[in-house]
Amino acid sequence: ALVNGVWVSSTKNTTASATESAVDDSWHEVVNPATQAVIGRVPQLTEAQMEDCISAAEAAFYQWREVPAKQRCATLARWHAAIVADRERLARILTLEQGKPLAEALGEIDYAASYIQWYAQPAVLERSAVLPYGDTPTSMLVVSEPIGVCAAITPWNFPAAMITRKVAPALAAGCSMIVKPAPDTPFTALALAELALEAGIPAGVLNVVTGEAEVIGGTLTRSAKVRKLSFTGSTGVGRYLAAACAPTLKRLSLELGGNAPFIVCEDADVDAAVQGALDSKFRNAGQTCVCANAFYVHDSVYEAFADKLVARVKKLQLGRGDEAEVNIGPLINEAALTKVEQLVADAVAQGATVRCGGARWAEQAQWFVPTVLTEATQDMRCVKEEIFGPVAPLVRYSDEAGLLASLRQQEAGLAAYFYSQQLGRIQRLSRQLEVGMVGVNTGLISDAAVPFGGVKASGMGREGGQQGIEEYLETKYIKLSQ
Ligand code: ADP
């Protein structure tokens, strides 16, 4: 782990009696989801080590905030260049611990780097104002200041991008940061941090800590020195962390589960919708929070869309992420696979038809064969819950207003997609879908320059774009008089 510019292991079992015990719980083993081979181990930091890390991050913050913004941004630009130069190695590490195809891993490294590039632009920090309301000779200034020590807790599905889109705006704003990556994918985070050190990001400004979620999360959320938590992960853990941050009233950004509807309207370009469906559903084997979850297809185009989608889905190649031509890697772990199996079984029991896939890949352990289910309904678990796997349930609809009303009942509100050629319908649906992001005639919406985030149970706050920097800034009003 990286604490205050130093690579550390755990101080957990340093007494003689503990070292003699059979199980050394001071390390956590990381497994390649494609082979189940242990690829390395990371230390389980103790509470005392976490307290030291928080103190170091606090000291580093007071120095870093005084570094001129242009210089902070120049340091970020060097980090960006280092990542771009090392993208092949980083992508290989990412695929090894996460499982996604190498081409997608390369795409993620570029995407992760693009957040650093975006926040390396000093203009993103131009926020301050002089208000014209004071009597001469007073001046009323409104300035933005960095919040302080920030914590980030990130998931395994995007081991690089979920980190840079929190760290880059925090560091540009002048905050210091403590990152807890997911236990399944810590090495991408550590490799990024190594490049950050080499690029000149000072000791303590960026720390990457590994260990048990309760220990790391507990010390970060309890500490009054930590002024902000940015979390990406499940809605349940997000709620828990928000409650844990209440006593110290931390600022929160929460990017939680989604359940994105993908609507194929009666006037859709069906071929384009099929391509959008593949982009949105099967990227990362369906393990992204903005993945289309269920498809709502108008009765008049239902059969055409289903046939064309099935034909394309059957061609997707399964395999290890580091093999050539692979489109679908393994799911992250056995629990993920079991959940997908259960959702498909529930759908079939309730009358859905498996048009392709429908089961785990016989030859290998942790793959689920890309699946299309027709005659799905909104009562099925795979429609109500986030699938997080390569399964596309197709729900038939004919009444647009009824569909929108039912979608508004969903707890989640992250992303939505629809395909339509009619301006009136496009405007209507764009306005009426209760989500943070809408893709119209596209299945790919993410970009460093735009605000990413959700409404309702999908969380609060935005990452990326002009809005992303606000999450790490406080507003101060200063009245100047003679
Ligand atoms: P997923 O279901 O995608 O694994 P989680 O919400 O469980 O999503 O995990 C996202 C991140 O939250 C991971 O880094 C995980 O270790 C962390 N996490 C899970 N539980 C806790 C907790 N109680 N305290 C702090 N972090 C946690």
Q: What's the pLDDT tens digit per position in 177-213?
A: 999 999 999 999 999 999 999 999 999 999 999 999 9
Residues 6 or more apart in contact with residue 284 via CB below 8 angstroms = 100, 104, 157, 158, 291, 329
b/e map 33-46, b = 16+ CB within 10 Å: bbeeeeebebbbbb
- Which residues share a beta bridge with 126? none
Q: Which of 153, 240, 241, 287 to mutate to test the pocket of ligand 1 (most atoms within 8 A of CB)?
A: 153
- Which residues share a beta bridge with 440? 418
Strands (E) in 67-192, as ranges, are: 129-131, 139-146, 149-153, 176-180
Distance 235 CA to ligand 1 centre (A): 10
Which residues does the chain have with pLDDT short of 50?
A: 16
* Smallest CA separation from ligand 1 atom 4, residue: 155
pTM for the whole structure: 0.97
Prior bond to 137 cis, omega within 30?
Answer: yes
pLDDT 10s digits, 6-55: 999 999 977 545 555 566 889 999 999 999 999 999 999 999 999 999 99
pLDDT 10s digits, 332-352: 999 999 999 999 999 999 999
pLDDT of 160 reads: 98
pLDDT of 17 reads: 54
Distance 290 CA to ligand 1 centre (A): 18
Residues near ligand 1 with C-beta < 6 Å? Answer: 153-155, 180, 182-183, 213-214, 217, 233-234, 237, 240
ipTM, interface predicted TM-score of the complex: 0.98
Distance 182 CA to ligand 1 centre (A): 7
pLDDT of 24 reads: 80
Distance 408 CA to ligand 1 centre (A): 27
Please give the helix or strand (H or E) that residue 432 lies within, else none: helix 423-432
Q: Which of 162, 237, 241 to mutate to test the pocket of ligand 1 (most atoms within 8 A of CB)?
A: 237
Q: 143: buried, middle or exposed (CB in 10 Å: 19+, 13-18, 0-12)?
A: middle
pLDDT of 235 reads: 97
Task: State the Cα–Cα distance between residues 155 and 458, nearest whole angstrom.
Answer: 15
Give the number of the atom of ligand 1 that is nearest the alpha carbon of residue 216: 25
* Smallest CA separation from ligand 1 atom 27, residue: 213
